Amino acid sequence: MKNGVGIHNQDKTAPVSLVPLKDGVEKAIELCDGLKNFDPNMKVLIKPNLAAWIDNYPFPPFGVIVTGVVLEGIVKVLKDVGAKDITIGEGSVEDEEWGSGTDIIFRRLGYQRLVNRYGVKLIDFNKGKHERMKFGNFSLRAAPEIFTTDFCINVPVFKTHQFTITSLGFKNLKGVLHTESKKLCHHHPSHSIDEYVYELGTKLYPHLNIVDGIYFLERGAMHTGRAHRAEVILAGRDMFSCDVIGSHMLGVKDISKVEYLSLFAEANQRSLDPKTIEVRGLSPNDFIKDLETKPAWSADGCGPFAFKKQNIQGLSVYEPDRTLCTGAGFVFPALLVFLMSANKGLPFDDYEFLIGRSMKPSGHAKKTFLIGKCAIVTHRNSKDIREAIEISGCCPSVDELLIALKINGIEARGSAVKEFMSNLFRRYQEQGYPIDEYYIS
């Protein structure tokens, strides 16, 4: 057996298991022969999806990050089979204003208890020296720990995604990259994020994949999505098989539309048909949810359908595309919330808002707001902009955004974002979703 991550870990005949939450992680691993090639002396790295956190507003983590229930279950199984060297590593979004960072998440979710209880180690992939590596045709910087592990366990969650359709095992590996390399995956003018995700998965192919399906997140991959409780665990030694079955369960009718999976299938002679994959335990067909990948947007580009419902006129906010990075995923929803809070029932004075690299100025707006470094660099000298309002930063803060809006006559409520986040959290409370499952007790 070859140790370490890489395409040699691909196993086209490996089964996938699907079990109810009540049966636990141990059953999921047992059914898929997840520890078939495991040796207790191996150096183990667990890579959970802890994409981002929000410490300074009410934050509903449902479907956004891995639950503590699943993560501790994995650690228990490893200790029961004699594992001696276990590390949990992640590189979460770092944003001081929102209160996001790997160390913050470790502290808030009680991961120190895993250290005290089981002797595991915690690593923040955002810190320390990163190694520049070739990922296919791309050169990216990655945390060295991913290359020194003997046994990598990839722990994503079930998410649809507005840019990659689904976010499962392949995309979870993006968390090992340096922050600037993560941004490049979104910002390269000639390559899609799916191409990067495909290359990452090929280079970093793990040994075991355990997908936390306590929730399925619609319109992901962040907190503005909609979580649906499913209470299942998907596992398998082959990441591609897990992602195909996971995409099927997330409601993707044509898996070839998931570009990173299609690229991998073509390169490795794999079938995208879920029926060709052996699934042990529950039937995936019993858990298929017809989920949207992104919010509905108006055809005229004025904004999401929520703008139509509020009869907002005179504003153009174009649908976001793949050039928006995760950091912009904090700012863009805040912009929409501020604009809706400023609606007084009268038309605005023909303003448009550009964020990312691909949104284009209309040529007729009286003022064009360029939000963040990408939009400013791309459109600062555009002849289609009559008056540019630059809101600098990578990405701008909520306060900077609010000030710029008010200076230009858009009277947004300063409390709107907090109210929005509070309402999101309250909605899940009313549904009875247990927050305790996320914490290590």
Q: What is the pLDDT of residues 306-337, one digit of tens each?
A: 998 999 999 999 888 777 777 777 889 999 99
Mean per-residue pLDDT over the chain, rounded: 94
For the chain, the first-to-last Cα distance in angstroms comes to 37
Q: Within 250-327, where are the H helices?
A: 259-268, 305-309
pLDDT digits (tens, 9 = 90+) for 186-201: 877 678 999 999 999 9
- Look at residues 183, 191, 182 and name the one whose alpha carbon lies nearest to residue 136: 191
Residue 254: both structure tokens together: 């044509």
Burial of 218 (0-12, 13-18, 19+ CB in 10 A): buried
- pTM score: 0.95
Distance CA 355, CA 369 (A): 8
Structure tokens at 243: 């992602």
Distance of alpha carbon 37 from its chain centroid, rounded?
29
What are 255-302's pLDDT values in tens digits? 999 999 999 999 999 999 999 999 999 999 999 999 999 888 988 767
Report the distance separating Cα 49 and Cα 28, nearest Å.
18
- 2 band by pLDDT with thresholds 50, 70 and 90: low
pLDDT, tens digit, for every residue of 412-441?
999 999 999 999 999 999 999 999 999 999
| Rounded average pLDDT over 150-174 | 97
Contacts of residue 2, defined as CB under 8 A and 6 or more positions apart, other chains included, come to 8, 9
Specify the residue for token string 């200790």: 79
